[in-house]
Amino acid sequence: MGIDLNTKQIREEIENFNNKSVSSFYDFIDKLKKGNSILRLDKEKNYIFLYRGQTDGNKRLIPKIGRNEKINNISEIEKRIYEEFCRLSYPYLNSKYEPYDWDLVALAQHHGLSTRLLDWTANPLAALWFAFYENETETDSNRAVWRLVVQHDKIVNTKEKLEEQKSIGIFKPNHITKRITAQDGWFTVHNLDNNKFKAIDEDFSYVIALNKYSFKLKKEEKEEKRKEILDALDKFGINYYSLFPDLDGLSKYLSYHFLPEKTDKD
Does residue 96 sit within a domain?
yes
DSSP-assigned letters across all residues of 157-179: -TTS-GGG--S-EEE-----SHH
User: pTM above the 0.85 mark?
Assistant: yes
Number of domains into which the chain is organized: 1
**From CA 24, how far away is CA 125, in angstroms rounded?**
13
Give the Cα separation of 131 and 57 in Å (integer). Answer: 9
Share above pLDDT 90 across residues of the chain, in percent, rounded to a whole number: 57
Residue 73 domain-assigned (yes or no): yes
The answer as to whether 197 is a domain residue is yes
Asked if 120 and 188 touch (Cβ cutoff 8 Å), the reply is: yes
Residue 144 lies in a domain: yes
Residues 178-206 have pLDDT tens digits of: 999 999 999 999 999 888 998 999 898 89
Instruction: Tell me if 35 is assigned to some domain.
Output: yes
- Residue ranges making up the domain that contains 50: 8-220
What confidence category does residue 244 fall into, taking pLDDT thresholds of 50, 70 and 90? very high
Dist. CA 220–CA 40, nearest whole Å: 39
Q: Look at residue 255 and tell me if it is in a domain.
A: no
Q: How far apart are CA 67 and CA 198, in angstroms?
A: 10
Task: Name the amino acid, one letter, at 113.
Answer: L
The reply to whether 64 falls in a domain is yes
* Choice between 253 and 72, residue whose per-residue pLDDT is larger: 253
Q: Is residue 118 in some structural domain?
A: yes
